[in-house]
Amino acid sequence: MKSINNLFVNIYDFPMKVGISLRRLIHPQILRLMPERRTFDFELLNDKPKKDKPGLYIVTHSTCHDAPIACEAIKDHFYVLVGKQPLELMDRIFFSLNGVIWVDRDNPKSEAKAFKKMTRLLKYVDVVSFSEQTWCKKPSTPINPIRRGWAKVAKESESPVIPLALEYYEHTGDNICYGKYYDKLINVDENDNIIEKNEELEDIFAN
C-alpha cells in the first residue's frame, strides 16, 4: 500500500519536479544579474549552517532590495513566497523564472493554498519566506511581530529552518547591507508549541 501511495505522489508531483529542474538550470543566470538589481553594497558575515535536505529560509524584510540580496546570500536555487501586490515588470519576471508561490495574505483560502504548495515544494527544493516589515523603524523596538505560518509549514514538512537577518546602514552614509545567518538550524518537531517557536525566532532576529 505504501508503494502505491508513493507512486501516486510521484505522479502528482511530476509537473512540479519538472518545473524545479528547469528553474535550476536558469538559476545561475539569474544569480549573475543580482548585483545589478541592488543599489547597496553587500557583505555576508558568516556561512549558512549545513543541512542535509531542503530547508525553509526565513529572511528579515524591510526594503525592495531584500530579494536580490537574499538570492546572493543563499546562492542555491529556491522558490520564494511573495504576497500579491503591484510589482515592476522585471520583478514579476524574476520571481516567475526563479519559482514563486503567490499569496494574498488577507485571504484565508489563498494562504491555505500557499501553505499546501510550500509543504509540497519542500520535499524537493528550498523555500524562502520574507517576514514582512520585520525591522521596526523605532530604536526602542528592533523587530515587529512575525507571522507564525513559517512554523506550521516547517512542522508539517519536517524541514529545517534557516534564519537570515539583513540589516541596512544607509543612514550612516555607508550604503551597505550586512547579512548574517543564525549559527544553527531550527527544527519544529511534532510536539513543539508554535507560539513558543515563533517567539524563539523573534528573539534570534532581535539579537
Percent above pLDDT 70 for the chain = 87
For residue 110, name the pLDDT band (cuts at 50, 70, 90): very high
Q: Is the pLDDT of residue 195 over 60?
A: yes
- The predicted-structure confidence for 126-166, as pLDDT tens digits, reads as follows 999 997 544 444 444 455 567 888 999 999 999 999 999 99
**Residue linked to cell 485571504:** 107
* Helix residue spans in 34-159 (DSSP H): 66-74, 89-98, 108-121, 149-157
Q: Three-class SS of residue 157?
A: helix
pLDDT at 136: 43
- The predicted-structure confidence for 11-67, as pLDDT tens digits, reads as follows 888 999 999 999 999 999 999 988 887 788 999 999 999 999 999 999 998 888 888
Q: Rounded to the nearest 5°, which phi and psi values hold at 165?
A: -100, 130
* Alpha-carbon separation of residue 32 from 65, 71, 76, 80, 99 (angstroms): 16, 10, 12, 18, 17
pTM equals: 0.89
pLDDT at 88: 84
pLDDT at 187: 96
How are beta strands 56-60 and 78-83 bridged, if at all?
Answer: unpaired
Vertex 81 angle, CA 91 and 92, to 5°: 15
The answer to whether the CB of 127 falls within 8 A of the CB of 121 is yes
The helix or strand, by DSSP H or E, that contains position 202, with its residue range, turns out to be helix 194-206
Comparing 146 with 103, which gets the higher pLDDT? 103
The answer to whether the CB of 57 falls within 8 A of the CB of 164 is yes
- Nearest CA-CA partner of 142 in 71, 81, 60: 60
pLDDT at 135: 45
